[in-house]
Every structure is written in structure tokens, then in C-alpha cells.
Amino acid sequence: MLNRSHVLNLVRAALAEDVGSGDATTLAVIPADLQTTAAMVTRKDCICAGLPLAEMLFEELDSGLAFEALVADGDACRAGQTLAVIRGSARAILTGERTALNFVQRLSGIATLTRRYVDALGSTCRTRILDTRKTTPGWRLLEKYAVRMGGGQNHRFPTRSRMSRPRPRPAPSISSSTI
């Protein structure tokens, strides 16, 4: 569902912005050979979205890290549930954890809110929740992905996309007895 090269470009841009040439505190305090295990745990009930981005981010930082997703994007998760476990270099994990969490938190937030709207409609309603093309610059594919993970549907992607033509509906009949 996610275009790997597009996501990898976003991951690289986020790391360049957030980390730059390295996390100064981590480099100064954490021994280079220290290995650790970290868990990504949700604080609130949510619909998970963004784990593939977190995995790509950690892989980009250190291909020796092991990322294990314990849930899938689109899963309903309870507060306190572990979403993923990351094992390997403590420096790499600490360097990428904030950026990875930013992706997962934002996309899970969108998916969770979308699911609330979908659930509010109920399964017998013909109305569908659609996203908008008015998205955060550079994040359109990610935000639309999160809407799908929450049970919504995607509207058109770029503004240049054609709008669908409305289906013709029969005109209501009016008689003198109804006026």
C-alpha cells in the first residue's frame, strides 16, 4: 500500500532534519558497542498506523537493527500494548526513536480518528468516510494510508485529478395533491 521509494525519501528527509550528522547526547553518553532492546508501547487505545515507516527508519539508521512488529497497521490496540520491539545498537535506537515515534503517533492519530467516524456511522449506513486531498505537504500518501488503516476511503489524490461525475437521479415527481 505504501510506495517504498517515496517513504524512504520521507524517512531520509526526516532523519536529516531531526538528526542531521548525529545525536550529540547519544554519541557523548552511550558506548558505541552497547546493545539494547526497546519496545514501542501505546499509551492510549488506538488504531495502529506507521509501523512500516518506523521499520524503514531504523533500517536506514543501522541495517543491523532487528525490528519486530507485534501488531499490523490497521489493528485496534489497547493502552499499554506493545506495538513493536527493536533490538540492536543502543545508539541507533536512541537516535531514531523520536523520529519513528513521530511517524507512528501522527499516522495512528489519523487512523484512530477515522475509525471513530467509521464506527459512528455503523455497518448498515451507506455513507462512507472519505479523506481530503488537502493534506500536509509531502505527507499526502502517508495521511491517505492512515485513513485507509482506520477504515476510511481515499478520495482523489492530486488536485488535478478529475472529479467523478454525479450519477443522474430521476427528478422527484410533484403533483398538485402534494403541494
CA-based torsion, 41, 42, 43, 45: positive or negative = negative
Other CB atoms within 10 Å distance of the CB of residue 67: 20
Residue 105, H or E segment: helix 90-121
pLDDT at residue 69 is higher than 70: yes
Strand partners, 85: 39, 68
Supply the mean pLDDT for the chain. 87
Q: What is the CATH number of domain 4-149?
A: 3.90.1170.20
What does the domain layout of the chain look like in residue ranges? Answer: 4-149
- Could you identify the residue written with the cell 489497547? 78
> What's the pLDDT at 166?
55
Catalytic residue numbers read 134
pLDDT at residue 48 is higher than 70: yes
The C-alpha cell of 14 is what?
Answer: 526526516
> What's the pLDDT at 8?
94
3-state secondary structure of 68: strand
CA-based torsion, 152, 74, 86, 59: positive or negative = negative
Does 115 or 154 have the greater pLDDT score?
115
